[in-house]
């Protein structure tokens, strides 16, 4: 699937400290004119599955769904941006992660994260993997394991569960849902079921803010 992806660089420097992001796309960049048009919500069952990791209040009324590849540089760049958006609305927003392991090392990184979830250290391990991503995104996972262990992962237990059929099935389902939704690359965001058409930190912030304001009326 990732062999059909074309690299498009997107510069996203913002006064609030947003970082430069590079995003992978199959085809052309989304037409900015479409961003002004309200987009219909997509099929909810394709966005959130019972197995999906959730960060934030489970009953939050605003849901950000991110199709996420832990080896993707743009996903790494957006991680602090999403955290900042959520920190400003801690009771109203939850983040649902869907896996799209397109890059080298991605599948093993997902398996490390899922092992961390069973051990109750999902968020710190995910952050550690993203922080150390430049050292392992070429597929040499030594640095990834070291970072995860430093963040609290029991490496021995994690390695014993690495080939979990449950995690394999989860990734297959997430990839299938991503293909059904025709996601253009990673990260791809949906907010309360509506796609982020014009890619960028400001655009994501604006879409989430609009949904938060709507639920507070």
Domain-embedded: residue 39: no
205 in a domain, yes or no? yes
**Domain assignment present for 16:** yes
176, part of any domain = yes
How many structural domains is the chain composed of?
1
The reported pTM is 0.83
**Residue 18 — very low, low, confident or very high, per pLDDT cuts 50/70/90?**
very low
Q: Please give the structure tokens belonging to residue 196.
A: 């982020």
Question: Cα–Cα distances in Å, from 27 out to 8, 184, 202?
Answer: 10, 7, 22
Would 143 be classed as within a structural domain?
yes
Which range marks the domain in which residue 136 is found? 2-25+58-216
CA distances from 177 to 59, 161, 180, 181, 188 (A): 23, 25, 5, 6, 12
The closest alpha carbon to 112, from 159, 156, 172, belongs to: 159
Residue 30, in any domain of the structure: no
Q: How confident is the model at residue 40 (pLDDT cuts 50, 70, 90)?
A: confident
Q: Within a domain: residue 43?
A: no
On average, the pLDDT of the chain sits at: 85
Q: Has residue 73 been placed in a domain?
A: yes
pLDDT tens digits for range 69-124? 999 999 999 999 999 999 999 999 999 999 999 999 999 999 999 999 999 999 99
Residue 216 has a pLDDT of 87
Average pLDDT (162-167) is 97
CATH number at residue 165: 3.40.30.10
- Kindly report the three-state secondary structure assignment for every residue of 89-111: CCCCEEEEEEECCCCCCHHHHHH
């Amino acid at each position: 699937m990732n062999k059909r992806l074309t690299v498009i660089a997107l510069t996203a420097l913002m006064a609030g400290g947003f970082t430069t992001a590079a995003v992978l796309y199959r085809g052309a960049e989304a037409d900015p004119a479409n961003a002004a048009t309200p987009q219909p919500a997509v099929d909810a069952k394709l966005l959130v599955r019972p197995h999906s990791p959730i960060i934030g209040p489970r009953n939050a009324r605003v849901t950000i769904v991110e199709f996420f590849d832990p080896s993707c540089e743009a996903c790494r760049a957006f991680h602090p941006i999403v955290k900042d958006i959520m920190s400003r609305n801690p009771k109203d927003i939850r983040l649902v992660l869907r896996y799209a392991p397109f890059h080298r090392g991605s599948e093993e990184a997902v398996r490390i994260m899922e092992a961390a979830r069973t051990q109750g250290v999902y968020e710190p391990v995910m952050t550690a993997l993203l922080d150390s991503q430049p050292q392992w995104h070429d597929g040499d996972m030594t640095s990834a394991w070291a970072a995860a262990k430093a963040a609290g992962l029991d490496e021995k237990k994690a390695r014993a569960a690495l080939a979990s059929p449950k995690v394999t099935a989860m990734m297959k389902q997430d990839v299938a849902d991503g293909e059904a939704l025709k996601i253009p690359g990673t990260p791809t965001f949906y907010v309360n079921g509506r796609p982020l058409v014009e890619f960028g930190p400001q655009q994501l912030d604006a879409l989430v803010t609009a949904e938060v304001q709507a639920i507070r009326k």
